[in-house]
Amino acid sequence: MFRCKNCLNASTRPRIEFDSRGWCNACQWMEEKKTIDWRAREEVLLKILDKHRGQGQFDCLVTVSGGKDGSYVAHTLKNRYGINPLCLTVRPPMPLEIGDHNLNNFIDSGFEHLHVSVHKEAMRKLDRIGFIDYGQGYYGWLIAIHTAVLRIAKNFGIGLVFYSEDGEIEYGGSTKNKNIAIYGTEYMKKAYLNDTYQNIMNSASLSHNERYWFEFPFEKNSDQIDVAHFSFFEAWDPYRNYLIAKEFCGLKELDEGVVGTFTNFAQNDQELASLHYYLMYLKFGFGRATQDAGIEIRRGAMTRDQAINLVRIYDNQPPIASFPRYADYYGISLDEFNSVIDRHVNKNFFEKINGVWEPNFDVE
């Protein structure tokens, strides 16, 4: 494992690439964004919006959780472009109080909203398989934020769907779609569902009714629904999004920090997020603090040396207090839960000392 010479992205990150300087995809994209003709990309956005404006009760569907990014996108579409969005949240399996509070504040700031509560036991089955077989904390929910969103769009006759940012491009994955405004279900399955969607669906053996919210309503959405990341159309800035959401949509941050990182204002909607990032750390050797530090470095708010100190402090923080609740959600004992964690640890990077997985590498 080696790390980006500009930020701290690790070479173990899936689909990451480095240039001759040792800079990762995300840092190369940071440079490229400074040369992009964003006015031309906005013209693309305007054409897409004009295509769908006034075609039904709602002009588009926007995915939101009550957090900074979805709130920013919905606010911008409504107030800058005069678009009438329907906002949609797929209820996570272990919601947090502050997440519910922020979502209610967002709705109260002036948006029409649907809360989709998918079949609870089907979600649990998929999450359990994802955790046990793949070391993924909330795979069922990841499926639903794609499949249920497209199904609602189809059922409501909405032809345009916005997600927030393309994490592949912004944070260090594949850049093959960096110049493509509209994408389809194949990209969802490959990049965001780790190309294991069909395997997990087959393993779950869900009934016909249970499968409804977890199946794509069509194989290819390109002829029926335009799906886009809003980050394609402007220079994406998560901190700017936070400030806008805080001022206009009632976003509140936690009083204390989040386990595994130094920030307190992002991804506070569900308890399973901390497990997701801890598993990422144990499998790949980088965690949520590394990801957050990279964002700060690329926007010029933090030096690499400052980031190193923070990552050394925070990346290896397990959400131990939540372990019993995780085990209960998956329907397994705490011992079984810990044995699954142990099975997915990359033993090249970690060794167990006094019952705790410790890194055998240094961050530098």
For the stretch 128-159, pLDDT in tens is: 999 999 999 899 999 999 999 999 999 999 99
Place of tokens 């780790």: 194
Confidence band (pLDDT; 50, 70, 90) for 194?
Answer: confident
Domain endpoint, select from 232, 263, 291:
232
Query: Where is the domain boundary, 197, 232, 267?
Result: 232
* Backbone phi, psi, residue 160, to 5°: -140, 130
Note whether 321 and 189 are same-domain residues: no
Strands 350-353 and 356-359: what pairing?
A: antiparallel
**pLDDT of 267 strictly over 90:** no
Rounded to an integer, the average pLDDT of 286-290 is 96
Asked whether residue 246 is assigned to any structural domain, the reply reads no
Residues 258 and 196 in one domain: no
Q: Are residues 335 and 228 in the same domain?
A: no
Q: Do 29 and 50 share a domain, yes or no?
A: no
Q: Are residues 319 and 220 both part of a single domain?
A: no
Tally the C-alpha atoms within 13 A of residue 325's C-alpha that lie toward its C-beta. Answer: 13
pLDDT at position 132: 97
241 C-beta neighbours (distance < 10 Å), count: 26
**pLDDT tier at 357, thresholds 50, 70, 90:** very high
In a domain, 238, yes or no: no
* Top-confidence residue, 166 or 264: 166
**In the predicted structure, residue 219 carries a pLDDT above the cut 80:** no
Do both 141 and 176 map to the same domain? yes
Model pLDDT, residue 223? 63
Q: What is the mean pLDDT of residues 227-239?
A: 96
Q: Quick one: average pLDDT of 313-339?
A: 97
Domain with residue 92: its CATH number is 3.40.50.620
Q: 81 exposed, middle or buried (CB, 10 Å; 0-12, 13-18, 19+)?
A: middle
Q: Is the pLDDT of residue 43 over 90?
A: yes
Q: How confident is the model at residue 222, as a pLDDT? A: 59
Query: Do 279 and 164 sit in the same domain of this protein?
Result: no
Q: Does the pLDDT of residue 221 top 70, yes or no? A: no
Does residue 290 form part of some domain?
Answer: yes
Whether residue 364 lies inside any domain: the answer is no
- Give the mean pLDDT of 33-51: 97
Given a cut of 90, whether residue 45 has pLDDT beyond it is yes
As a whole number, mean pLDDT of residues 257-267 equals 88
Residue 146 sits in the same domain as residue 202? yes
What's the token pair of residue 176? 């093959």
Of 266 and 344, the structure prediction assigns the larger pLDDT to 344
Q: Which of 232, 265, 284 is the last residue of a domain?
A: 232
User: Residue 228 above 70 pLDDT?
Assistant: yes
The answer on 263 and 165 residing in a single domain is no
- 247: CB partners within 8 A, 6+ apart: none
**Residues 99 and 226 placed together within one structural domain of the fold:** yes
Q: Is 13 contained in some domain?
A: no
Q: Which domain holds residue 292?
A: 25-33+253-359
Task: Classify residue 12: in a domain, yes or no.
Answer: no
Q: Across the strands, what pairs with 24?
A: 18
Domain count, the chain: 2
- Do residues 113 and 211 share a domain? yes
Let me know if residue 2 belongs to a domain.
Answer: no
**Is 9 domain-assigned?**
no
Percent of the chain at pLDDT exceeding 70: 99
Q: Are residues 186 and 75 in the same domain?
A: yes
219 or 227: whose pLDDT is higher?
227
Over residues 89-98, the mean pLDDT reads 95
Across all residues in the chain, what is the average pLDDT?
A: 95
Residues shown for the chain: 364
